[in-house]
C-alpha cells in the first residue's frame, strides 16, 4: 500500500481568491452599517479566520484606501465591486505587503472577481485599477496623503477631537489605536491560580506575561478555543484596562448590610465584568442589560465559568421597573460610549461611528449616572467607566456630575488611559506600557449624610 504524504492528510487552506471574496463580502456589510462581528458571522467557518485577518488589515487602511480609490475611479462602482476593489487596495497595495506577494494578490483579486456573478463583468476594470496603482504608486500616494484623514486613517472629526483633547499626544494616540492588540486574558481565581496556569502554558510552549492582579497577556495570540483551560472556565478574554474595573470597585470596600456585598453591574453585557466581580469577591451581584439576547450572552458566559448572578433585562435608568428599594454597596457603570478607545480590537468603529453619535451618548451617560447614584448606600462606591478616549465621555462627564452632586466624592482614580501609555505616574496602577485599550475610570464615593 502506498504511504500517504503528510500534505495529502492535512486539510487544504481555501484558495486566496476565496479568502478575498469572503473579506470583500464582510467589508460590504460593514460599509452598509453592520459591525465586523455580524459581518464575519455570515462568512463560512472555514474562511472566517482568514477573512477576519484580511478585513482588519483593510479597515486599518480605510481612509487611505478611499482616497486612492477616488483617484483611480471617476464614477462610484457598484457595492460588490467597490468592496472587492477596496479589499485589494487596502492590503498589500497600501503597506501590508508582508501578507502576500503583490502580483499574487493582483491575480487572485481578478480571480475572485471572475468567480462572483456580481463582479464578473467588472473583473477587467478591477484589474486595470490595481495595476495602474502599481505603476503610479508614488504619485497616487503623494496625492492621497494630502488629506489629514488619509494620513492617519481616521475620520476628520475624530482626529480634530483627539487633537483638542490631547494637543501634545494626539499623534501617538492615533498611531497606537491602529495597532493590533495583544490577546489578554483574565484568570478565574476561583478555579486556578494565575501562576499555576502561566506555568502550565509555558510547559506547552505558550508564553504569557502576568499583568495586573489576574491578567495574562499572550506573547503570541492564538484561537481561544485552542487555549488550555478556556473551555473549562479557567480564563476569559478581557483587555487589561477592562480588568481594572473590579479591583477599583471592590478592593477595601466594607459590607454595609448583611454578610455579603450587594453589587450592581449596570449595562453588564456580555458579562465579562460581572464574572470578574463573582470571581473576585463573595458578593450578591445583579447584572442588568436592556437587550434580551445580550442578557442570554451574560448567562452563557457565567455558565462556562461556573458562576451565578441575578441577570435582569431592563432599562437601567428606568429604576421603578426593576429596583426593589434595597441600596447597593457598590455600583459598576460601564456606560454606553463611542468605543473610541478599543479601535485596535474593533477597527470598524471609526468607519461606523458618526460625529453626531457623541452628544446623544453623553446625554445617555448623564441619564444613567443620575438614575443610579440614588441607589448607592451611604459610604458606598460607584465606578464610572467608558472605553473611550474622548474627554466628553470621561473627565468632562464626571466634572459635570460632581458639580451637581455635593455628596459625591471623587477618590483616587486612573482617569483617562490611552492606548499609547501606561497608567498615570501616581503609582496607583501597575501595568506594562502599551498594554491598555483606551479607557476612562472615575471612582466615586457616596458621602454619609452627617458628614
Write out pLDDT tens, residues 345-376.
Answer: 999 999 999 999 999 999 999 999 999 999 99
Give the pLDDT band (50/70/90) at residue 429.
very low
Q: Which residue has the higher pLDDT, 395 or 180?
A: 395
Q: What is the mean pLDDT of the chain?
A: 90
Task: Name 325's Cβ contacts closer than 8 Å, sequence gap at least 6.
Answer: none
- Predicted TM-score (pTM) of the model is 0.90
Average pLDDT (52-71) is: 95
User: In the chain, what are the domains?
Assistant: 10-152 (1.10.940.10), 184-237 (3.30.70.1170), 242-446 (3.40.50.150)
The confidence score (pLDDT) of residue 326 equals 92
Question: Between the CA of residue 19 and those of 29, 43, 59, 105, 150, what are the distances in Å?
Answer: 16, 10, 16, 11, 26
CB distance 90 to 61 below 8 Å: yes
Lowest mean pLDDT segment, chosen from 7-21, 121-135, 255-269, 320-334? 7-21
For residue 94, the model assigns a pLDDT of 62
Q: Is residue 97 predicted with pLDDT exceeding 70? A: no
If you average pLDDT over residues 208-213, what whole number do you get?
A: 92
pLDDT score at 393: 98
Q: What is the pLDDT of residue 449?
A: 61
pLDDT for residue 96 is more than 50: no
pLDDT at residue 202, rounded to an integer: 96
Average pLDDT score over residue span 195-199: 97
The mean pLDDT value for 86-98 works out to 75
pLDDT digits (tens, 9 = 90+) for 322-353: 999 999 999 999 999 999 999 999 999 999 99
pLDDT value, residue 3: 39
Q: Which three cell numbers stand for residue 192?
A: 486556578
Q: What is the pLDDT of residues 222-247, one digit of tens each?
A: 889 899 999 999 999 999 999 999 99
pLDDT > 90: percent of the chain: 84
At 425 the pLDDT is 34
For the segment 316-327, the average pLDDT, to the nearest whole number, is: 95
Q: What is the pLDDT of residues 135-177, one digit of tens each?
A: 999 999 999 999 999 999 999 999 999 999 999 999 999 999 9
User: What pLDDT score was predicted for residue 257?
Assistant: 65
The lowest-confidence range among 85-94, 298-307, 396-405, 422-431 is 422-431
Can 235 be counted among the known catalytic residues?
no
In percent, how much of the chain has pLDDT > 70?
Answer: 91
Q: How many helices (H) and strands (E) does the chain have?
A: 19, 11
Choose among 394, 381, 387, 393: nearest CA to 445. 381
Min mean pLDDT across 74-83, 92-101, 151-160, 347-356 is at 92-101
- Model confidence over 6-55: pLDDT tens digits? 333 344 678 999 999 999 999 999 999 999 999 999 999 999 999 999 99
Average pLDDT value for residue range 112-124: 97
Whether cis (ω within 30° of 0) applies to the bond prior to 270 is: yes
CB of 333 closer than 8 Å to CB of 268: no
Burial bucket for residue 112 (CB in 10 Å: 0-12, 13-18, 19+) = buried
d(CA 430, CA 448): 31
Q: Are 217 and 184 in contact (CB under 8 A)?
A: yes
For residues 83 and 103, the model is more confident at 83
Amino acid at each position: 500500500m502506498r504511504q500517504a504524504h503528510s500534505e495529502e492528510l492535512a486539510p487544504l487552506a481555501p484558495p486566496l481568491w476565496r479568502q478575498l471574496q469572503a473579506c470583500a463580502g464582510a467589508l460590504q456589510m460593514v460599509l452598509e452599517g453592520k459591525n465586523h462581528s455580524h459581518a464575519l458571522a455570515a462568512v463560512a467557518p472555514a474562511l472566517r479566520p482568514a477573512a477576519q485577518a484580511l478585513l482588519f488589515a483593510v479597515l486599518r487602511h480605510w481612509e487611505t484606501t478611499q482616497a486612492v480609490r477616488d483617484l483611480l475611479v471617476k464614477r462610484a462602482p457598484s457595492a460588490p465591486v467597490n468592496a472587492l476593489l477596496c479589499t485589494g487596495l487596502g492590503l498589500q497595495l497600501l503597506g501590508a505587503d508582508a501578507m502576500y506577494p503583490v502580483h499574487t494578490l493582483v491575480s487572485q483579486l481578478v480571480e475572485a472577481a471572475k468567480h462572483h456573478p456580481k463582479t464578473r463583468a467588472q473583473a477587467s476594470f478591477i484589474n486595470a485599477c490595481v495595476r495602474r496603482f502599481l505603476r503610479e504608486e508614488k504619485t497616487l500616494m503623494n496625492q492621497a496623503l494630502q488629506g489629514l484623514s488619509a494620513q492617519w486613517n481616521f475620520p476628520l472629526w475624530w482626529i480634530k477631537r483627539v487633537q483638542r483633547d490631547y494637543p501634545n499626544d494626539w499623534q501617538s494616540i492615533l498611531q497606537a489605536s491602529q495597532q493590533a492588540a495583544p490577546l489578554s486574558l483574565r484568570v478565574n481565581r476561583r478555579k486556578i491560580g494565575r501562576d499555576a496556569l502561566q506555568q502550565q502554558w509555558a510547559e506547552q510552549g505558550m508564553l504569557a506575561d502576568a499583568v495586573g492582579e489576574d491578567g495574562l497577556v499572550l506573547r503570541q495570540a492564538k484561537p481561544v478555543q485552542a487555549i488550555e483551560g478556556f473551555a473549562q472556565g479557567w480564563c476569559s478574554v478581557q483587555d487589561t484596562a477592562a480588568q481594572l474595573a473590579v479591583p477599583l470597585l471592590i478592593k477595601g470596600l466594607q459590607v454595609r448590610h448583611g454578610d455579603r456585598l450587594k453589587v450592581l453591574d449596570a449595562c453588564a453585557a456580555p458579562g465579562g465584568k460581572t464574572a470578574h466581580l463573582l470571581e473576585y469577591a463573595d458578593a450578591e451581584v445583579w447584572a442588568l442589560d436592556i437587550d434580551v439576547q445580550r442578557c442570554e450572552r451574560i448567562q452563557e458566559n457565567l455558565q462556562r465559568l461556573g458562576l451565578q448572578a441575578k441577570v435582569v433585562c431592563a432599562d437601567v435608568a428606568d429604576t421603578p421597573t426593576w429596583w426593589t428599594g434595597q441600596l447597593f454597596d457598590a455600583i459598576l457603570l460601564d456606560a454606553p460610549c463611542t468605543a473610541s478607545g478599543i479601535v485596535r480590537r474593533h477597527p470598524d468603529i471609526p468607519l461606523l461611528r458618526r460625529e453626531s453619535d457623541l452628544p446623544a451618548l453623553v446625554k445617555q451617560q448623564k441619564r444613567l449616572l443620575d438614575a443610579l447614584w440614588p441607589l448607592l448606600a451611604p459610604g458606598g462606591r460607584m465606578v464610572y467607566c467608558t472605553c473611550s478616549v474622548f474627554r466628553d465621555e470621561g473627565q468632562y462627564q464626571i466634572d459635570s456630575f460632581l458639580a451637581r452632586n455635593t455628596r459625591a466624592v471623587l477618590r483616587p482614580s486612573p482617569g483617562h488611559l490611552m492606548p499609547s501609555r501606561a497608567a498615570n505616574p501616581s503609582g496607583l496602577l501597575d501595568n506594562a506600557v502599551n498594554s491598555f485599550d483606551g479607557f476612562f475610570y472615575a471612582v466615586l464615593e457616596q458621602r454619609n449624610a452627617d458628614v
